[in-house]
Amino acid sequence: MVFDSISETGHEQISYFSDPETGLTAIVAIHDTSLGPSLGGTRIRDYESEEAALTDVLRLSEAMTYKAAATDLPLGGGKAVIIGDPEEVKTEAALEAYGRAVDCLAGRYITSVDINSGAEEMDIVARETDHVVGGTDGLGNPSEVTAHGVFSGIRACAEHTHGTSTVSDLDVVVQGLGKVGRLLAEELLEHGASVTISDVNQEAVDEFSAAYDVDVVAPDAVYEEPCDVFAPCAIGGVVNDETIDQLQCDIVAGSANNVLKERRHADALAERDILYAPDYVINAGGLVTVGKEYLGGTYEEAYEESEKIGDRLSEMIERAEADDSTVLDAAEAYAQERIDESDTVTPALPSN
């Protein structure tokens, strides 16, 4: 199954790590290092099966390749998953074992934060390897930069579909009030947008709606809620055969990874004249932040850099129109051109 997966996706390396003493079970997928060492977060999740974990890490690492290339970063794409209930597997011993696993990859993979792994976990991983960013001594939580990048992308999409460079006349449905979704909703409200929120966590919904003037829609009705922009900021795969026909929006643009269940759903959205902002383009602010930390830079520079996400997305929209293709096609072409034109090898790690 693993070799078939490599053949289908073009991954350079898939590494399995097991440490029975600590209970660590992890997979690290390195998709492409043409532009530089692969960088991507470590997701800790209780997957249904090993196959499900492999599928997830392969999709995520491939997306990181395109995300880095489409953001003009000298980095490649990688991702890691630690398999198990986070409440049980996030022990110091297991995270130290994971750090040793990352270290044995000799800098081909740089790890960082992701779902169920934050700065504190990265600090523990860093006890055993230098190939880690996103710890407490780093640039800080990238959520604000990610949210601002998504906001900039929504403005770019609105300029194309509604002829306005502001969001003040937009109705936006934000699905998911996690770290990024909440910040995105706040920035949209600050700039005059009408916001509707939805989350499976009722406590988060109650807290946000008590603080801000927003509408609320139930999770099972969120896709059919009329709006200008549907912003998925929670789980992936929410645009699929079941939900596409329910959507009543002009734009799909949010922070969630792998928004499309399958690639063909980009074409399905286009057939309904719904503009889709590729997730790995619009949500690249997090990568920009940890990239700045790894390559050298400041949080303020990362925030300013996230403004360019809207400009880059506008170029891809224009290219898609010129080529009579989807924006996803245009984004992939842009990223692939950067990868193909690169004559570099993986650079040495910056000295600490």
Integer Rg of the chain from CA: 19
With beta carbons less than 8 A apart as the criterion, state whether 44 and 82 touch: yes
Measured distance CA(342)–CA(229) in Å, rounded = 36
79 is a catalytic site residue: yes
Question: Which amino acid type is present at position 185?
Answer: A
Distances (CA, A) of 205 to 200, 247, 333: 8, 21, 39
> Pairing relation of β-strands 275-276 and 171-175?
unpaired
Measured distance CA(202)–CA(119) in Å, rounded = 26
Altogether, the residues listed in the chain come to a count of 352
- For 242-284, where are the alpha helices, taking DSSP H only? 264-271, 279-282
> Pairing relation of β-strands 171-175 and 194-198?
parallel
* Catalytic hit among 79, 90, 179, 292: 79
Two tokens, residue 278: 């590729």
Taken in order 137, 142, 148, 153, the sign of the CA dihedral is positive
Residue with tokens 């910056």: 350
The residues that are catalytic are 79
